[in-house]
Amino acid sequence: MIHSKRGLVLVGVITLVVGLVSLFPARVAVQWFAPTEIAISGVQGTAWSGSASEVSVAGLYLQELEWSIKPLRLLTGALSYTVSAKPVSGFIDSDVAVGVGGRVTLTDLNAALPLALFGDISGIPGLQGNGSFQFARLEIVDGLAVVASGVMQVGDLVVPIVGRDSLGGYQAEFFTQNNGISASIEDTDGVLDLAGSLQIKSDRSFEFIAQVVVKPETPESVRRQLRFLPPANDRGQQELRLAGIL
């Protein structure tokens, strides 16, 4: 009989906790727990299921953010939500989990975004183009991706430091290695025949190495930039190498 009463009390406590969490106002949760780097307005609903009219984080501006918690994932020790949002143009859909240490995990990420949103993040002012993202998994710690499995496609790429002309389209396939994240990159309809690789290490250093060959449609502005690269090999390829710290 005692065990039965204890069981009923436990069930009651669990029911109360779940009820409180499911009704906890999202506005209060944002005030208490959202990092100062994130600006959120127009918050409605609860921590369980809600929305925000505007969100700004790390230079990325989003509208019509909606979330719905995945309660079964609480058993794994992570807060997990189904999230959707709209930037100025495009969309974002993903399952998002926040784990110990602030690790953010995105699964089944599907997004279409203008590259201008990443101008500040990438350190390339004036960056333009269209990006589409299909990632099975993406894990971020302290603003740095530490796990990545997916494909990014870029169209109508414009990099002002290279020139005002469109560089065309490119594709990058990301995968995780022991020392960081790597990606194989190739042109799809770019103005350059390009094949290369990108490596991002845990110390935030990156290195991009590619072999490029001009095409008949390569703009003169790009051809002028290629004069600063090492001479072409017997295949007409020139090596492009970039390195730095994110």
Contact 194, 210 (CB under 8 A): yes
- Tell whether the torsion through CA atoms of 151, 114, 109 and 58 is positive or negative: positive
For 163, which DSSP code?
-
Measured in whole angstroms, the distance separating CA 101 from the mean position of its chain's CA atoms is 18
Give Cα separations from 26 to 42, 52, 204 (angstroms).
Answer: 10, 9, 34
Contacts with 52 (C-beta within 8 Å, 6 or more apart), sequence order = 26, 30, 40, 41, 42, 43, 44, 65
Position 85 scores a pLDDT of 81
What string of pLDDT tens digits covers the 246 residues of the chain?
444 444 444 444 444 444 444 555 566 566 655 656 567 788 887 777 778 888 776 566 778 888 887 765 554 555 677 888 887 788 888 888 776 666 788 889 999 988 887 777 666 778 899 999 999 999 888 778 889 999 999 999 998 877 788 899 999 999 998 888 999 999 999 999 999 999 999 888 889 999 999 999 999 988 988 889 999 999 899 999 988 887
Residue 110, both tokens: 């599907």
Q: What is the pLDDT of residue 136?
A: 96
Enumerate the domain spans of the chain.
Answer: 103-245
Structure tokens at 178: 């022991």
Phi, psi of 17 (to 5 degrees): -60, -45
Amino acid (one-letter) located at 87: P
Per-residue pLDDT, 73? 55
* Token pair of 123 as six digits: 């350190």
